[in-house]
Amino acid sequence: MESSNAALLEEYGMSHSEALRNEIVLKNLGLVRACALSLRNTFIKYGDVDDVVNEGVIALMDAIESFDPTKGAKFETYASLKIRGAIIDYVRRQDWVPRPVRKFARDLDKANSILYNQYNRAPTNAELAEYLGMSEDKLLKGMADASNTVTLSFEELLYEDNFEGSPSADEGSDSRLLRQELREVTAKAIASLKEKERQVITLYYYKSMKYSDIAKVIGVSESRVCQINTKAMLALKAALEPYIKGSSPEKEEQS
């Protein structure tokens, strides 16, 4: 599709024909649907898929207008980042999540980050519950309820990094090294997850499966899948955030 897009985009850059733009949109509707599908667990209980796809199409049209082939990035890469960002923004704007769930998710994220840095590892549920002053049962229920919110927060972190740092021909060596380091940190963080956490993350991101379908595959309840997903997302975010935000203690020591 890339070569087809390249020719059409080059022609559109000269003509700005509405008919040609619509043709490019039609050729890339699958990309919009794929982005919406990959994020559906963040909105499926609250939002309409068609509304989310419409937001993605608007972002695709914007990508067609703003894409600069001289930067060296593939159109599909550039457009998918624009589309995912637009969907994340749309879901966040809808404010579907009840206030107590949002507050719990913020408190949980903060507690996980503090304990992760303190122990240099993902904290256990018992450690999180003690820090938050609640029983493990209450913690687990909250983790199940907050799964979508925690996932969206993690997606925002990834989107912020990837969109601002899209591959380009003039990317400096420092940026390339940082991107390589981030990939290595990501791989290490995923490898450090427990087996079921890795399994849920794999089915969620690489198979684009719903929580209910993941539950059937791994033989647990949907609520348990949400708990596992929340724990995995928190661990990955705590591991990646210092690198994405450029505040890694290791970097500071080396500077």
| Distance, CA of 210 to CA of 200 (rounded, Å) | 10
Looking at residue 254, its pLDDT comes to: 40
Q: What is the pTM of this model?
A: 0.73
Q: What is the pLDDT of residues 54-74, one digit of tens each?
A: 999 999 999 999 998 877 778
Residue by residue, DSSP assigns 183-246 as: HHHHHHHHHTS-HHHHHHHHHHHTS---HHHHHHHHTS-HHHHHHHHHHHHHHHHHHHHHHHTT
| Distance, CA of 207 to CA of 212 (rounded, Å) | 13
Please list, residue by residue across 74-89, b when 16 or more beta carbons sit within 10 angstroms of its beta carbon and e when fewer do. Answer: bbeebbbbbbbbbbbe
Contacts of 29 (CB under 8 A, 6+ apart): 57
Q: What is the pLDDT of residues 99-121, one digit of tens each?
A: 899 999 999 999 999 999 999 99
Looking at residue 40, its pLDDT comes to: 77
**Residue numbers of the chain with a pLDDT score lower than 50:** 163-172, 247-255
The position carrying tokens 């708990």 is 227
Looking at residue 160, its pLDDT comes to: 62
Structure token pair of residue 215: 């539950």
Rg, C-alpha atoms of the chain: 20
Looking at residue 222, its pLDDT comes to: 94
* Residue 133 phi, psi (nearest 5): 70, 45
